[in-house]
Amino acid sequence: MEDTQNRSVLDQIKDHTVVVADTGDFDSIRQYEPQDATTNPSLILKAANQPEYAELVKDVVNRAKQEGVTLVDEVMDRLLVRFGVSILEIVPGRVSTEVDARLSFDVEGSLAKARSLIARYEELGFSRDRVLIKLATTWEGVEVSRELEKEGIRCNMTLLFSIVQAVACAEAGSQLISPFVGRILDWYKQSTGENFEGPEDPGVKSVTEIFNYYKKFGYKTEVMGASFRNIGEIKELVGCDLLTISPNLLQEMKEDFSEIDLKLSEDAAMACNLAKTEIDESSFRFQMNEDEMATTKLAEGIRKFSVDVRSLEQMLAEMLAS
């Protein structure tokens, strides 16, 4: 057996799971050498407000001005893709770029936005197979994914908190899902007043169930655990297809030299006693309605991302007007 004493937890996890950087910060991505990277409006807003990215943002706005572009929406798309392209120049794999959260219930609007973002990447020489379009896992988002996947536009289904959302995405042929481990934990801690750790963490349980379901029934959709609150959650999901992790937790794992074990595997999934289920729109909506946690966190996530989109728009509008 290989000696793990001189290997960090981060290096050990990379033996079993694709590590993805959950950040818009280029230096962090370089430092931790992930395969892929994910972004969202909150991360882009945070990065855009940092001095080291001021010139990038200013350059995007100035080019738009020179070309007579006055629509903030178009400048926003240019900025998102500029960040994405900069990330693709660092990572060997894929970047996720998110559709405006305000389109989470708008099928046609989301389709148009996704196609526009992909076209911008392709115009800059980056093929669509290196870009994942992030969509909120509403029923409308699932339907958007179903259509985009037919066009070879791969989707990352985000704000996912339940098995019913996961099954719907798998049935639609979505490339990847991002179940939110930490936000599930947050809800249960707040609603029960209890603390949960290790395999008893509700977020860990949720991702484990989804992973096992996908593997048992042969779905190709990738599972990428997201939104972690501590490295204990990450250690419980070693073996998951991918894990997207914030820079502070990546650093903590880099400094941790404890030995970790494989937790999730296809063999273990095949041995699980799970029943296959079919999901249509009415059953999706009813089961979501029955799941207070999933309904609450999905709505909350859409609202929070929408706030950050508006903040980013306001910043760009002020720069365009100056």
Residue extents of the structural domains in the chain? 9-321
When pLDDT is averaged across residues 47-74 and rounded to a whole number, the result is 92
Residue 99's CB: how many other CB atoms inside 10 A? 28
When pLDDT is averaged across residues 52-74 and rounded to a whole number, the result is 94
What is the reported pTM? 0.95
CATH fold of 9-321, please? TIM Barrel (3.20.20)
When pLDDT is averaged across residues 85-109 and rounded to a whole number, the result is 97
User: What span, in angstroms and rounded, lies between the C-alpha atoms of 60 and 80?
Assistant: 10
Give the DSSP H or E segment for 154. Answer: strand 154-160
Task: Give 243-265 pLDDT, tens digit per residue.
Answer: 999 999 999 999 999 999 999 99
Question: With 60 as the cut, is the pLDDT of residue 46 above it?
Answer: yes
Q: Please, what sign has the CA dihedral across residues 4, 6, 9, 15?
A: negative
Length of the chain: 322
Tokens found for residue 125: 């020489």
Can you give the pLDDT at residue 1?
A: 42
Question: With 70 as the cut, is the pLDDT of residue 101 above it?
Answer: yes
Active-site residues, by number, are: 134
Can you give the pLDDT at residue 5?
A: 62
Between helices 72-88 and 292-321, what is the axis angle to 10°?
110
